[in-house]
């Protein structure tokens, strides 16, 4: 009798395990990396200005009036002999303070009104839309001049005035996104399940509206910094001797041909700062475009 052995199936090859999906941070474009580095440098300089080993920005060196770069004054001195580097660093503190606080004020008011307008609709939407249209129709420069004429020039007046000018665009952006997100299934399901309107608005709608508003805020910061510089140049912003980039440019215009560095250095810093916030805002908007519905 032939001894038949039970057939043995050949061993199966080991199952190839799928490679674990790793969450990789998206590679930042070179321009965005440079923009972030520059913005961080300016912000850190503004924060650390009181402890940096810099000369007093308001103490003149009468022996070196409108002088070029030299030991002790790496960027030279201005028309009154004050250190340019010190005034640029301290000017960043004033300009960024106005930029960030004014945008935060306008964004907070505008986003709150936009959420209410887009979610509750009806007469609330109509009333807020009328308010926004009225504010947008009023000339911004005249509004700032009136505020300065009544209350005087200074950073607080600039913050209030620029925040009031900027909130309508945030309102429209937040309203447009809210109108879209309130029609999503998970928001409608929360409403059907008995969730209160206020809770649904805060828990379901707000987190989805916020990314597009924040990405837009970086672009507005750049606009506000330019506006602050322009108003200070015209005499309606931060007043001397407090350093600000716009004020430094205005103060050096009389020496433009004899000492161009007085105007050139703050202008270059202002340009690079505005460009950096624009690059960051554009990148954030492109990153959030897939999960947000409406952008400006």
Decide if 21 is inside a domain: no
- Per-residue model confidence as pLDDT tens digits over 242-251: 888 988 998 8
Decide if 58 is inside a domain: no
How far apart are alpha carbons 211 and 288 in whole angstroms? Answer: 6
Please, are residues 113 and 171 in contact by the beta-carbon 8 Å criterion?
A: yes
- Per-residue model confidence as pLDDT tens digits over 50-60: 999 999 999 88
Decide if 115 is inside a domain: yes
Decide if 165 is inside a domain: yes
- Does residue 77 sit in helix, strand or coil? strand
The pLDDT value given to residue 11: 52
Output the six-digit token pair for 1.
């009798």
What integer best gives the mean pLDDT of the chain? Answer: 84
Output the six-digit token pair for 91.
């000017």
What is the share, in percent, of the chain residues with pLDDT greater than 90? 40
- The domain that holds 222 is classified in CATH as 1.10.3720.10
Decide if 67 is inside a domain: no
Decide if 63 is inside a domain: no
- Per-residue model confidence as pLDDT tens digits over 143-162: 988 998 898 888 899 999 99
How far apart are alpha carbons 142 and 148 in whole angstroms? Answer: 10
Total domains, the chain: 1
How far apart are alpha carbons 282 and 171 in whole angstroms? Answer: 20
How far apart are alpha carbons 9 and 159 in whole angstroms? Answer: 80
The pLDDT value given to residue 92: 92
pLDDT bucket at 20, cuts 50 / 70 / 90: very low
CA dihedral 172, 177, 182, 187 (to 10 degrees): -140
- Per-residue model confidence as pLDDT tens digits over 111-123: 999 999 988 888 9
CA 151 vs CA 145, 233, 236, 237, 285: distances in Å = 10, 19, 11, 12, 37
How far apart are alpha carbons 194 and 293 in whole angstroms? Answer: 26
Residue 4, pLDDT > 50, answer no
The pLDDT value given to residue 22: 52
The pLDDT value given to residue 188: 77
Handedness of CA 43, 215, 169, 223 (dihedral sign): positive
Decide if 2 is inside a domain: no
- Neighbour count for residue 33 (Cβ, 10 Å): 13
- Per-residue model confidence as pLDDT tens digits over 55-111: 999 988 888 888 888 888 899 898 888 999 999 999 999 899 999 999 999 999 999
- At residue 212, φ and ψ (nearest 5 deg) are -70, -35
pLDDT bucket at 274, cuts 50 / 70 / 90: very high
- Per-residue model confidence as pLDDT tens digits over 184-238: 877 778 777 777 877 888 888 888 889 889 989 989 999 999 998 888 888 888 8
Decide if 57 is inside a domain: no
> Nearest to residue 108, comparing CAs of 197, 227, 228, 214?
214
- Per-residue model confidence as pLDDT tens digits over 254-264: 888 888 999 99
pTM of the predicted model as reported, rounded to 2 decimal places: 0.82
Work out the angle between the directed axes of helices 155-181 and 206-234 (0-180°, nearest 10): 150
The pLDDT value given to residue 9: 45
- Does residue 83 sit in helix, strand or coil? strand
Output the six-digit token pair for 52.
């940096």
What is the domain range of residue 100? 30-49+80-288
For range 275-280, the mean pLDDT = 92
Helix residue ranges, H only, the chain = 30-48, 84-120, 122-137, 140-151, 155-181, 185-192, 197-200, 206-234, 245-251, 261-288
The pLDDT value given to residue 45: 93
């Amino acid at each position: 009798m032939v001894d038949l052995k039970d057939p043995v199936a050949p061993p199966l090859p080991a199952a190839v395990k799928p490679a674990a999906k790793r969450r990789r941070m998206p590679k930042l474009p070179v321009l965005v990396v440079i923009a972030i580095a520059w913005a961080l440098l300016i912000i850190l300089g503004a924060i650390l200005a009181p402890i940096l080993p810099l000369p007093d920005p308001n103490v003149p060196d009468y022996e070196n009036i409108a002088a070029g770069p030299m030991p002790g004054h790496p960027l030279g001195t201005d028309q009154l002999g004050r250190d340019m580097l010190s005034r640029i660093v301290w000017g960043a503190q004033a300009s960024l303070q106005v930029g960030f606080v004014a945008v935060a004020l306008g964004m907070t008011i505008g986003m709150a009104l936009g959420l209410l307008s887009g979610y509750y609709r009806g007469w609330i939407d109509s009333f807020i839309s009328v308010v926004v249209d009225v504010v947008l129709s009023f000339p911004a420069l005249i509004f700032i001049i009136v505020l300065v004429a009544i209350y005087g020039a200074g950073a607080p007046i600039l913050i209030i005035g620029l925040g009031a000018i900027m909130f309508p665009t945030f309102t429209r952006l937040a309203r447009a996104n809210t109108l879209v997100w309130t029609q999503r299934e998970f928001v409608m399901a929360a409403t059907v399940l008995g969730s209160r309107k206020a809770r649904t608005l805060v828990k379901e709608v707000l987190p989805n509206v916020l990314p597009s508003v924040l990405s837009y805020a970086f672009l507005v910061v750049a606009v506000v910094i330019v506006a602050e510089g322009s108003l200070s140049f015209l005499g309606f912003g931060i007043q001397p001797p407090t350093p600000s980039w716009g004020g430094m440019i205005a103060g050096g215009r009389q020496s433009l041909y004899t000492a161009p560095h007085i105007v050139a250095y703050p202008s270059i810093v202002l340009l690079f700062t505005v460009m950096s916030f624009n690059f960051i805002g554009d990148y954030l908007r492109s990153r959030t475009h897939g999960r947000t519905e409406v952008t400006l």
